[in-house]
Structure 1
Amino acid sequence: MINHVQRETTSLTPLHVNLATMADLTGKGLFSTKTVCIVAGASRGIGRSIAVNFASKFPPGSLVIALSRDVEQLTVTKTLSTKASPAVLSVTHVFDQGTLDQHKYETLFKDSLQGRSTSEFQQAMIIHNAGSVGSEFCRNLTDVNQVSHYLNVNVAGLVALNAQFMQVFKDVPSKVVVNMSSLSAVQPMASWGLYCSGKAFRDMFMRTLALEQPDIRVLNYAPGPVDTNMFHKEGIQETKAEDHLEALRAMKKNLLAPDTTVNRLIAILEKNVFESGAHIDYYDEQ
């Protein structure tokens, strides 16, 4: 995702969490048990890196499910994930998070499990990485269909997907939800009104989930400025505000490789001492 090096700090601690329950969950590495892991937006960039690197961390018999609209690139992700860890099954499922088809949401995980039972797994994990930028000044967002589609992809689709995840895997003992966030969730950026608002919504939704469900681990992870197609195309080529565009151009020489930021995410999940619902940036002190 797109982010900036300069950050504003914010307190994102969920209130009234059952601390006794949380104490039982923290400090235990999240890659040590047989896991079914869903990665939304897994066809390239950060999502592909997550699918591949996470597959290499989970024990044999685990399952990584890569979701995306792009059939061809999903095949590449599957090949790389299988090569990284032959003992972990990697499967793909073509899924458009912005097409709010109730039937597709309700059958997604059953189809993706390919006959395997949820009872086989000790842990279920979902990484919400699918999303878009959609640069435009707030005053110009007059096309209700454009606005609606953006919110479907980045907000409504995530909420519905996450709820299905919670329902389907409700009996799996351990559950982990990771939202790929951004500095934009806590700091406004000109001509990125939809992007910033969508990211802020997602962060608050995850904080609320953490409050409601103290038995699961929830993380908002801002990956820093990463060398991805989204940065170069939706960021550099489409950003309307000139000052913001100049800031993005200046960051090009300091972009992180997808594997670099994903390895930082892996380290956070392995250490597993974060407050559930917290917003952690790549550049935060370890």
Structure 2
Amino acid sequence: MAPAADLGRVLCIITGASRGFGRAAVKELARLVRPGSVLVLVARSGEDLLTLQAELTQSEPGRTGLKVEVVVADVGQTEGLENIIRTSKKASNEDLDHVILINNAASLGDVSRYTKSFTEMSEVDSYLSLNVSSALCLTARVLQAFPQRPGRRRTVVNVTSLCALQPFCSWVLYCTGKAAREMMFRVLAEEEPDLRVLNYSPGPLDTNMQVEARSKTADPHMKKTFSDMFSGGQLLTCEASCSKLMKILLEDTFTSGTHIDVFDV
């Protein structure tokens, strides 16, 4: 079956949209949705979001009917989630035939320490709230706000990582968060057969998170691995990885709930 030419008339909510992979995904999506689509861009940095909004509004899709809304919010806070849903419902209309949620917002956590140093529950709870609880609660709210109905497709993407599958020394918070999120979306896929659920691993990206990994990782072997990837030119651009994600979404042949790595596309 040939892949679709576009993603339809879409409402797409993207967290962590102001930079890196999220920003690249927004720009790719803008080219692949029909006029009348709505992009809801979520991040903590209002200035970066407004710059991206202006860029999209002035682009060809923007001139032909793409609506771009920004929500400056911390997804780790209930108020932020409420704001996202409120904005999305206000901006959407009955003509939209595809709802897409891209759970991209995440943080690396403290990689300068080993597991045995994490004795404070409040520190761990704070990390898991932003990286796990927020994704579950936002997804649940979106599914309730935009329920299944005839003629409407719904897709949920979790931006995951190899760290969801393999342990990285001194990355206990990040690996734990990614593993928990991945299982969360696998459960969701089992519960909601009409929903399309994808765990997409974008690969080693040339982003600020990689800079942090090279400079702060406590484990010397891991640190060297990250430095060697950078110096060896092995990091992917966000744009290259996002184009692979769009290919998966357009083809729409993946098994719901599956983990797909960028290198397998």
TM-score over 0.5 for the pair: yes
Select which of 230, 237, 257 maps to 2:237.
Answer: 257
Residues 60 and 152 (structure 1), Cα distance of their counterparts in 2 relative to 1, 3 Å cut: same
1:268 is the counterpart of 2:248: yes
What is the CA distance between 1:116 and its match in structure 2?
3.5
Query: Are residue 278 (structure 1) and residue 261 (structure 2) matched?
Result: no
Structure 1 counterpart SS, 2:250: helix
> Residues 45, 169 of structure 1: CA spacing in aligned structure 2 closer, same or farther, 3 A cutoff?
same
Taking the aligned partners of 1:84 and 1:47, their CA distance within structure 2 comes to 20
Q: Does 1:92 align with 2:70?
A: yes
What runs of 5+ residues in structure 1 fail to find an aligned partner?
Answer: 1-25
* Contact 1:39–1:66 (CA under 8 A) maintained in structure 2: yes
Aligned-residue RMSD, C-alpha? 1.7
Structure with the larger RCO, 1 or 2 (CA within 8 Å, 6+ apart): 1
d(CA) in 1 for partners of 2:148, 2:245: 26
The yes-or-no answer on 1:108 pairing with 2:84 is: yes
The 1:38/1:84 distance shift into structure 2, 3 A limit, reads farther
Residues 53 and 84 in structure 1, CA contact (< 8 A), matched pair in contact too: no
**2:160 is the alignment partner of 1:181:** yes
Q: CA deviation at 1:230?
A: 1.3
Equivalents in 2 of 1:193, 1:37: separation in Å? 31
Q: Which amino acid aligns with 1:227?
A: D
- Per the alignment, do residues 118 and 201 of structure 1 end up closer, same or farther by CA in structure 2, a change over 3 Å counting? farther
Q: Equivalent residues in 2 for 1:119-198 (5 A)?
A: 119-134=94-109, 135=111, 136-171=113-148, 173-198=152-177
Q: Structure 2 counterpart of 1:199, which letter?
A: K
Task: Report percent identity of matched pairs.
Answer: 34
Letter in 1 for 2:253: V
Tell me the alpha carbon deviations over residues 129-183 of structure 1, each in whole angstroms, 9 at most, x when there is no partner: 0001112311011222211110000001111111111111114521000000100
Q: Deviations over 1:200-226 (max 9, x none)?
A: 111111111110011011000000111
Quote how far apart the aligned CAs of 1:110 are.
1.7
Q: What TM-score, normalized to structure 2? A: 0.91
User: Structure 1 residues 117, 63: closer, same or farther in 2, change over 3 A?
Assistant: closer
Give the Cα separation in 1 of the matches to 2:183 and 2:9: 29
What is the CA deviation profile of residues 36-80 of structure 1, one whole-angstrom value per residue up to 9, with x for unaligned ones? 000000010000001111011100000011100111111122123
SS in 2 for 1:283: helix
SS in 2 for 1:50: helix
Question: CA 1:129/1:32 → structure 2, altered by over 3 Å: closer, same or farther?
Answer: closer
